[in-house]
């Protein structure tokens, strides 16, 4: 046997054939790829042939409900010569960083409209703003500007993108439930301020600022646990994480409770309740994942509320 034929056989042994079907079962493609290839290699080759960029691609192994290809080597998912993958187009994607930036931009735009242009919104001029209204306006803007800064410079996202079609749903919580509904009633000319003294209102505002600061430091703790461009994470400690798995959600909840007392608005309490329910669901899921991933994860920690939840 000559050297050329030996090399040809060696090269063919390293190549596997993968069949790709749509979720409907319709044949889509046959890919010849190195058996040591990664999921990223597969998605790049699929992109070169079909022009679905990697973030749009979703592959299941063996069936439309099979294991999802996420990262790592194909062989880790049992992909071998003759394996069939089922492809789903996730649609046009948008980066999570941009999603959060757009979400948090809503209240920053909407609140000043209600605050500075009452005649335009309510059809009548508003009386001089109360201390409660001034604090509500300032604290809301500071909170969401802080979130924008964290989005741009602090947060690291485990998922790069999401389907752009979901953007209006994500924005609804911040633009409508908070920005429009809280802003409309809080800055209404007939707004009734809370029956707290100015000293009490300022004290609650200071408490909120403290909780906001603790929320920020907890985000810094999380940032240090994940290297850029990876999904790796460790066990967080300090800044409230010794008591709960999601200290950032705990501090944010306390912050919104303070804000709701100052705003004295039913829609604000509704927003706070919805936010807490959503954060609790996220926290419980992350709490379970921590226990699954780390055998030495602290047993005494709760998910979001110390000693309780």
pLDDT digits (tens, 9 = 90+) for 149-205: 999 999 888 777 888 989 999 999 999 999 999 999 999 999 999 999 999 999 999
Q: Residue 232 carries which DSSP code? A: -
* Span(s) in the chain for CATH 3.10.20.90: 3-89
Residue 41: band (very low, low, confident or very high) from pLDDT cuts 50, 70, 90: very high
219 sits in which H/E element: helix 198-225
Question: What is the per-residue pLDDT for 231?
Answer: 66
Q: Which of 64, 90, 57, 60 is nearest to 78 (CA)?
A: 60
Most confident of 7-21, 46-60, 229-243, 251-265: 251-265
Q: Is the dihedral of CA 173, 174, 180, 183 positive or negative?
A: positive
Please state, for a pLDDT cut of 90, what percent of the chain lies above it.
69
Give the mean model confidence (pLDDT) for residues 111-137: 95
- pTM (whole model) above 0.85: no
Residue among 46, 34, 44 at smallest CA distance from 74: 34
| Averaged confidence pLDDT in the chain | 91
Assigned CATH topology for domain 3-89? Ubiquitin-like (UB roll) (3.10.20)
Range from 100-114, 231-245, 250-264 carrying the lowest mean pLDDT:
231-245
The Cα–Cα gap between 267 and 261 comes to: 12
The predicted pLDDT at position 273 comes to: 97
Q: Is the pLDDT of residue 277 over 50?
A: yes
What CA–CA distance (Å, rounded) separates 92 from 202?
Answer: 46
């Amino acid at each position: 046997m000559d050297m050329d034929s030996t090399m040809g056989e060696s090269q063919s042994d390293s190549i596997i054939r993968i069949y790709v079907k749509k979720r409907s079962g319709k044949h889509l493609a046959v890919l010849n790829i190195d058996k040591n290839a990664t999921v990223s290699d597969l998605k790049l080759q699929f992109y070169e042939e079909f022009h679905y960029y990697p973030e749009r691609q979703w592959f299941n192994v063996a069936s439309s409900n099979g294991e999802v290809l996420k990262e790592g080597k194909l062989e880790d998912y049992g992909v071998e010569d003759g394996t069939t993958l089922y492809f789903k187009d996730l649609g046009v994607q948008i980066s999570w960083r941009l999603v959060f930036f757009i979400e948090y931009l809503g209240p920053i735009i909407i609140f000043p409209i209600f605050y500075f242009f009452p005649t335009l919104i309510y059809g009548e001029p508003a009386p001089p703003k109360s201390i409660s209204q001034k604090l509500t306006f300032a604290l809301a803007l500071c909170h969401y500007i802080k979130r924008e800064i964290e989005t741009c410079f602090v947060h690291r996202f485990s998922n790069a993108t999401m389907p752009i079609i979901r953007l209006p749903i994500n924005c609804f919580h911040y633009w409508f439930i908070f920005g429009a509904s809280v802003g409309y009633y809080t800055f209404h000319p007939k707004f009734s301020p809370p029956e707290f003294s100015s000293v009490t209102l300022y004290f609650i505002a200071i408490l909120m600022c403290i909780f906001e600061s603790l929320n920020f430091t907890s985000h810094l703790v999380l940032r240090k646990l994940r290297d850029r461009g990876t999904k790796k994470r460790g066990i967080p400690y300090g800044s409230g994480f010794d008591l709960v798995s999601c200290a950032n959600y705990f501090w944010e909840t306390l912050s919104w409770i303070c804000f709701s007392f100052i705003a004295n608005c039913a829609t604000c309490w509704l927003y706070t309740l919805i936010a807490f329910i959503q954060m609790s669901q996220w926290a419980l899921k992350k709490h379970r994942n921590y226990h699954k991933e780390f055998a030495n994860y602290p047993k005494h920690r709760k998910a979001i509320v110390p000693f309780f939840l």
